[in-house]
Amino acid sequence: MYRDAQLVALHKPAGISLLADRSGAPCLWDELPALIEGKPYLVHRLDKGTSGVLLVARDQPTQSALTRAFAGRRVGKFYLAWVTGTMTCTGTGTIDLPLRPGRKSRYRVAGPRDAIVRRGERWTLTKRDAEGVDALTRFRVLARTRGRTLLLLAPRTGRTHQLRVHLAWIGHPIVGDSLYGRPGAPEQSAARLMLHCHRLVLPGHGAFRAAIPADFG
């Protein structure tokens, strides 16, 4: 954990909700006042299944400044993900697919599935829905093993479930993703969602990292 007068950076485990949900299970929000030694001000969120760096402001001016930095795309965000299948990219690639809300609290690519095309190392849409919002993810292939691929992901936009939707719709869902993948498929089997927020880089504050947990892989 990192703590200064303005913010706290901590490592959120997978499987722990940040805020209370309908299940009534314990959530991190209840523990934050003790962890940060004061009133917490949320800056960003991680899905329940995602582990990694979580930033919490210790005062409202810091929260406002960091919220503007996230909204202005001035925060560097880097995730690790194990995905199904062997990606054929030579090293780096870009997923440039707009998103829109789907059904049952899901999100989807804002266009027909058969309108997704790959040109070199870039996935785009040839036809998009009018209500879609731009969503851009860059990635680097780090390893391929056992029919899976390890990616370093750098989302350039911050749409809800962006990484999970992008990877699922290009045919490489994140291992353990029961919402966007195929939970009954052997290649999807995992004890957790294999998505980890590895590093955040904030203007004026530097870089914050979360070590790769033992259950990731």
Distance separating the N- and C-terminal Cα atoms of the chain: 23
Which is catalytic among the residues 4, 21, 30, 47? 47
Under DSSP, is residue 152 helix (H, G, I), strand (E, B) or coil? strand
Distance CA 72, CA 148 (A): 34
Per the listing, tokens 């999100």 go with 107
Q: Which residues of 35-62 are buried (b: 16+ CB within 10 A; e: fewer)?
A: ebeeebbbbbebbbbbbbbbbbbbeeeb
Based on the residue annotation, tell me whether 47 is a catalytic residue of this protein. Answer: yes
Residues forming a β-bridge with 170: none
User: 125 near 118, Cβ under 8 Å?
Assistant: no
Looking at the annotation, which residues are catalytic?
A: 47
